[in-house]
Chains A and B, each alone.
Chain A
Amino acid sequence: DAGVIQSPRHEVTEMGQEVTLRCKPISGHNSLFWYRQTMMRGLELLIYFNNNVPIDDSGMPEDRFSAKMPNASFSTLKIQPSEPRDSAVYFCASSQGTAQETQYFGPGTRLLVL
């Protein structure tokens, strides 16, 4: 199994630009999670989907952030417009959809907003 796939691995952009992060979950997993990791705030859940439906988006920082999951094998996290404080590592994870299941993490996207 290829594991959770994320792209790009690194992104450098200028403030005000749109940023789109992509994730392909493990085949057969029906839950997908977006996390952000920063030095100041640690690892925090932004949003998660179950069967392609957003279940909890309470961690999404503000309206500049949006996430979609158009099908079971693809999700995007979009930041528009980006700001320097969005600089972080963004992880996608997937699981088989219960609270006891292991969440498998992707390699992350390291985002730097100048």
Chain B
Amino acid sequence: AQSVSQHNHHVILSEAASLELGCNYSYGGTVNLFWYVQYPGQHLQLLLKYFSGDPLVKGIKGFEAEFIKSKFSFNLRKPSVQWSDTAEYFCAVTPGSFQKLVFGTGTRLLVSP
């Protein structure tokens, strides 16, 4: 079945550690890729997105993601996390021209001060 996989369900890091969250999708053809973040008690916000061009995408708050077509991956990275990055992170895909966002299961990140 077509899906979006996030392999890490829970990640615990200390401040200043580097972060990489995995995301793989199983759709063939053109895809549009998104990372959303949900801070505790808040609604989802867009971190970054990719649909064409440079496969290394920079988003807000120092986050970036790299689209690797051959690996069907769109991993999220941040060189140095802060306590305020504690949140749940969702990878999502819209396949082709369809607007239906398909979400991964999310990764809960806890950054300890």
Contacts and interface: CB of A to CB of B under 8 A. Distances in A.
Chain A interface main SS type? strand
A99 B44 contact: no
Nearest to B99: A99
Interface residues of B, number: 24
Between A98, A100, A101, the greatest number of chain B beta carbons within 10 A of the residue's beta carbon is seen for A100
Nearest to B48: A102
B91 to A, nearest CB: 11
Interface stretch (A20-28, A38-46, A69-77, A80-88): A38-46
B101 interface: yes
Contacts, number: 54
Contacts of B96: 99
Contacts of A42: 103-106
A42 B88 CA distance: 11
B63 to A, nearest CB: 15
Contacts of A100: 32, 49, 51, 94
Interface string B80-109: 000000000010001111111111111000
